[in-house]
Amino acid sequence: MLLFIYENKFIYINQETFMLKDVLTAIFSYIGTTTDYFVVLLLLFGKYSTKQDTKLVVLGAYLGNGLLVLTSIIIALVLQQVPEEWLLGLLGIIPIIIGVKGYFSKEDEGEEIEEKLKIIKPDAILWNVLVITFSACGADNMALYIPYFTMLNLQILPIILVLFIIILTAVIVAAYKLVNVPIVKAFFDKQGDLVQLIVYVSLGLYVLVEAGTLQHLLLLIY
């Protein structure tokens, strides 16, 4: 239970409320970042279809995403040393920019990944998956993860990481099962950018408000 004093009145806010908010934000954010990665996995499973190759794709997916999350957490921990929290909230501008840019961009990421798959070494599957994970999703995902982890209560970090693993597992299984259904890839190619726009802009605004950045800037203006 948290206690606040506002206008000489005691206000109690249940800590479970904060935890639920952080958990729901994590689910919303990670599902948003996996829309593009779902298409990546469809292409990878389509190219590497043998049982042994599939295992390496799955391992590469876990390692690649794990490294992205770990790197984001380390950077977030460093940024948490900034004395003014409202300054940290400025990080929320980054996912907003990336979400808007990705939505209006005419580049086809699916085609870019397909071209990379044609030229990479066929005998280095695990390395290929790691490289494609970082090149296709690294910058965008970290732009979302770093602001989120910067504002996160580290006490619930283990819960958030378990949720990430569960969602990633569901995405991997779904991609593996649906790899031979063309309409699925077509849908995510068409609607993936819209989903990403909604998630990235929403989380960016959440960070700006949660850190008090938006309120601080409005006070400076008015």
**Tens digits of pLDDT across the chain (222 residues):** 444 333 444 334 455 555 777 788 888 778 777 877 888 888 888 888 788 889 999 999 999 999 999 999 999 889 888 777 777 778 888 888 888 887 787 666 666 666 666 666 666 788 888 888 887 777 788 888 888 888 888 788 898 999 999 999 999 999 898 887 777 767 766 666 777 788 788 878 888 887 788 887 777 776
CA dist 204 to 90, 94, 130, 155, Å? 9, 7, 27, 22
How confident is the model at residue 63, as a pLDDT?
Answer: 94
2 backbone dihedrals φ, ψ, rounded to 5°: -105, 145
Beta carbons within 10 angstroms of residue 22's beta carbon: 20
What distance lies between CA 168 and its chain's CA centroid?
A: 11
* 3-state secondary structure (DSSP) of residue 12: strand
Strand partners, 11: 4
151 backbone dihedrals φ, ψ, rounded to 5°: -95, -5
How confident is the model at residue 134, as a pLDDT?
Answer: 82
**Domain ranges within the chain, ordered by starting residue:** 22-221
pTM of the model: 0.75
